[in-house]
Amino acid sequence: MQTAVSGSVVDQQKIDIKNIPVHVEVHTPSANKAPEYAPRNRIYVRAVKGLHQAVRRYMGFVFMGLFMLLPWLQYEGHQAILLDITEQKFNIFALTLWPQDFTILAWIFIIAAYALFFITAFYGRVWCGYLCPQTVWTFIFIWFEEKIQGTRNQRMKLDAEPWSGVKFFKKAATHFCWLAFSLLTSLIFVGYFTPVADLFMQFFTLEASFWAVTSVLFFTLCTYGNAGWMREIMCTHICPYARFQSAMFDKDTFTVTYDEKRGENRGPRSRKDKDYKEKGLGDCIDCNLCVHVCPTGIDIRNGLQYECINCGACIDACDDTMSKMGYPPGLISYTTEHSLNGKPTRVLRPKLLGYLLVLLAVCTAFAWTLYSRVPLEMNIIRDRGALFRTNNDGLVENTYTLSISNKSQHTVVFDLSVSADASFNWIGPHQVSLNGGETGSVPISLALDPYSTKERSLEITFTVQQQDNAEVQLQQATKFFLGNR
């Protein structure tokens, strides 16, 4: 009886086991069965005119002009901007930076980072749309396409046609222009790191060094591949900025946005149709021009997307359509989420003010670093063979080597001196003349009467001062040893 009851209890506590299939379905990339796995389609960007594109083009012209002009400028007989890596010095007009001035370069990069954060928090990803080299070069390459192959529809038709002499000529001319422009800009870029005039002459006369030629060809292929072939892939898949930009966005950030309440429902209609709202239609006529002009190929009407670079092309295209239809502009505009929801936009908010305060603090630190910078460096090297010795006159001598670097661009004469609580005999030169960027070693011996002090060592300070400018001076302390007393 007990056995039967026990068995019944065990049956009631038994957990049912369910067999789970272990078959795994593998989804193979197939454009026919799974469109989401389809390979990248070529984006044919349509030309558009408008305020934002005019601003983008003018900014591109200005900064591209500066990029090409700056390395050719001369300052006091030398290239104004020359980042000479082999000599380990950066000449920027009157300023010369050495490896010891790494702090200044660090401040520059920090300022650029926080300026980018501030602009992004305020006006979205406008850096990408207006000044990013990838975007600037891409639009230049698209301009070559338009001038050689025609409009968007003509380019699509040309690609769909079978190969012919005309098609080959247009394609070859396009790629030739791409490569020529890439080579030109690569030479200019490498010219920031080596004398640009010599680089151009030696490159085309086949006399340039191996590393110069390699650098030019490398950047030429990179520019040609990025702006000619990869284009939006750089923005959507490779550039990390697209991935973390949303961390700087909030509901008061101005971004390119489609007004869904005003635009939906979409639908075509004639210009004379004034009763479209009674039919349940919004202002969007579903012309798809906003998609055709987008360099990354997105539909801004689907909402904010990380691929959007805030170039404003869709705004200009939509405003032009609204003008032709007789509708008010602004269906697509730079606006905020709060503004779309009928709430006031807070421009001065904690996040933006935080970025601004940090940016101002970093700029102040950078300015102070430049102001307090002394174009001079000194290292004191003691005689490691003997800390001290007694000469024939019974004086205790210490020998030092002053390694002095002239970090300016001019020849400078420096005065050398020492200060201490005792009177030393100076053995060695009191002056040294150094060319711009030169480092010199000056051996100095100091002698002291051992009975003039009871100390075993003394604190002394060497001073190096520019002869014609007392404000340029550097002091460094060291020890003078007298030995066991």
User: Phi-psi region for residue 88, left (φ > 0), alpha (ψ -120 to 50) or beta?
Assistant: left
Q: What stretch of H or E contains 132? A: none
Report phi then psi at 296, rounded to 5.
-105, 0
Q: To 10 degrees, what angle do helices 165-190 and 51-69 make?
A: 60
Is the confidence at residue 61, as pLDDT, over 90? yes
**CA-CA distance, 76 to 431, in Å (whole number)?**
26
- Residue 107 to residues 42, 101, 115, 355, 359, Cα–Cα distance (Å): 41, 10, 12, 15, 11
Q: Counting Cβ atoms within 10 Å, is residue 68 exposed (0-12), middle (13-18) or buried (19+)? A: middle
**CA-CA distance, 82 to 410, in Å (whole number)?**
16
Is the confidence at residue 485, as pLDDT, over 80? no
- Partners of 82 in the β-ladder: 91
Which tens digit of pLDDT belongs to each residue from 314-357? 999 999 999 999 999 999 999 999 999 889 999 999 999 999 99
Q: Given the DSSP bridges, would you call strands 425-427 and 396-406 parallel, antiparallel or unpaired?
A: unpaired
Least Cα distance to 381 among 428, 440, 443, 463 occurs for 443
Q: Given the DSSP bridges, would you call strands 412-419 and 457-466 parallel, antiparallel or unpaired?
A: antiparallel
Is the confidence at residue 278, as pLDDT, over 70? yes
Q: Which residue has the tokens 């080596």?
A: 194
Report phi then psi at 54, rounded to 5.
-65, -45
Is the confidence at residue 38, as pLDDT, over 50? no
Q: Where are the domains of the chain?
A: 250-340, 376-481
Is the confidence at residue 27, as pLDDT, over 80? no
Report phi then psi at 83, rounded to 5.
-95, 80
How many other C-beta atoms are found inside a 10 Å radius of the C-beta of residue 264? Answer: 15
Query: Residues 142, 151: contact at Cβ < 8 Å?
Result: no
Q: How does the average pLDDT of the chain come out, rounded?
A: 90
Question: Average pLDDT for residues 380-400, to the nearest whole number?
Answer: 91
Is the confidence at residue 32, as pLDDT, over 60? no
**CA-CA distance, 427 to 461, in Å (whole number)?**
16
Of 87 and 13, the one with more pLDDT:
87
Q: In sequence order, which ranges of 250-349 are alpha helices (DSSP H)? A: 260-263, 289-292, 313-325, 337-340
**CA-CA distance, 195 to 188, in Å (whole number)?**
10
Q: Within a 13 Å sphere around the CA of 216, how many CA atoms are in the beta-carbon half?
A: 24
Which tens digit of pLDDT belongs to each residue from 204-223? 999 999 999 999 999 999 99
Q: Quickly state the pLDDT bin for 12 (edges 50, 70, 90).
A: low
**CA-CA distance, 473 to 375, in Å (whole number)?**
9
Structure tokens at 126: 């406008």
For 167-199, letters b (16+ CB in 10 Å) and e give eeebbeebeebbeebbbebbbbbbbbbbebeeb
CA dihedral 237, 239, 245, 247 (to 10 degrees): 80
Q: Which residue has the tokens 């009763």?
A: 275
**CA-CA distance, 47 to 286, in Å (whole number)?**
18
The per-residue DSSP string of 164-182 comes to: -HHHHHHHHHHHHHHHHHH
**CA-CA distance, 479 to 459, in Å (whole number)?**
5
**CA-CA distance, 297 to 311, in Å (whole number)?**
12
CATH 2.60.40.10 assigned to domain 376-481? The reply is: yes
Query: Residues 210, 274: contact at Cβ < 8 Å?
Result: no
Which tens digit of pLDDT belongs to each residue from 93-145? 988 888 888 889 899 999 999 999 999 999 999 999 999 999 999 999 999 99
**CA-CA distance, 198 to 215, in Å (whole number)?**
15
Q: Cα-atom radius of gyration of the chain, to the nearest Å?
A: 35
Is the confidence at residue 181, as pLDDT, over 90? yes
